Amino acid sequence: MASSPEDRRDGSLLEVPPGAEPRSLLEFLSSRLINRSKASLRRLVGQGRVRVNASVGTTGQTVRPGDVVALPEEVRPGPLPQQALPLDILHEESGHLCINKPAGHPVLPGRGGEGAEFYESLVAYLNRDAPRGGPYRRPHAVHRLDTDTSGVLLVATNVEAARALSMQFQHRQVAKQYLALAEGVFPREQATLDIPVEREPGSVCQMRAARTKGAHAVTEVQVVQRFGHFTLLRARPVTGRQHQVRVHLAAVGYPLAVDRLYGRRDALTAEDLQRVLGSAVRLPRGGTLLVRCPLHAAAISYAHPATGVPMAHEAPLPADIERVLAVLRKHDRTPAPPLHDG
């Protein structure tokens, strides 16, 4: 359908190509304007600033081959981002992938675009063979890992898979396992931490064990290895609250060995470890052993979003946590106290 003179003055024109599947206006824009978030595109359409065949468009409106979409002057299809980070892909197929997320990177950029390296690298990877101008594949984060948390991240690469996987998370049909290095010698072989959580008053991100009535939160923990002053734990979150594992371990007195929000230090240095272990053990001085939370998403299991076949993937411990464990195995061998599983 021909565009109007008003559309041609307004900005860029995008035509739905022959053979394209009918889809919503929002999904069409999302596949072409890969350098803009879906939230910003939704706002743009909601403000009446996108036209389809000379009429104001709506997000759920179906566009078909031959339709012409007119964008505001300041909105231009931009180039694909560059892949700034190497990506450790654990599994990939049509519709979704599992990736071993590195520590130090948020899953999604902040509102100001900060911390975009991981997300943009994933966009670049998914569209490495895409034609210029799209359509592009957009990653859908169906769950999150904290910035400092490494390990298995499940990502959908189309809308249908995103909906199916999101429903599995909503119905607690996805099983996740974390490895966590906690401060102190955990006294039981396994425990269920059933502790409601709530947001820390005045904070936009920090949580705490609820003082009165909070959100239901359950984490199952199991000892993997005890040291004299630390414990390597396997944590299975039954619910999926923000910072749940970190808050629960801190609430029972065994915070992560490094945790700037809920723990006793924001880094673990050789001097820190020397003070914990005592003067009888000599460690190299001046070195920082760990600069982030020792929390690693080690495994995930779920049903294939299209076929329902059970799937499972694992991510090996990263080098920084392995390095600390090697030091503890060598130097932190103080006998643990008796266990009480009753």
Tokens of 126: 């998914």
- Assign 97 to helix, strand or coil: strand
Q: Is 129 a catalytic residue?
A: no
CB 209 within 8 A of CB 253: no
Calpha distance 55→35 (Å, rounded):
25
330-334 long-range CB contacts below 8 Å, 24 or more apart? 331/273, 331/277, 331/281, 331/283, 332/227, 332/228, 332/229, 332/230, 332/273, 332/276, 332/277, 333/227, 333/228, 334/227, 334/228, 334/229, 334/277
- Assign 31 to helix, strand or coil: helix
Calpha distance 121→100 (Å, rounded):
13
Calpha distance 228→7 (Å, rounded):
71
Pair type for strands 55-56 and 51-52: antiparallel
Those residues whose C-beta lies under 8 Å from the C-beta of residue 113, and which sit 6 or more positions away, are: none
DSSP annotation string for 128-143: TTPPTT------EESS
Whether a cis peptide bond, with omega within 30° of 0, leads into 255 is: no
Picking from 258, 326, 317, 320, the residue whose alpha carbon sits closest to that of residue 292 is 258
Write down the catalytic residue from 7, 10, 67, 146. Answer: 146
How far is residue 1 from each of residues 4, 65, 268, measured CA to CA in Å? Answer: 10, 10, 64
Q: Give the active site residues.
A: 146
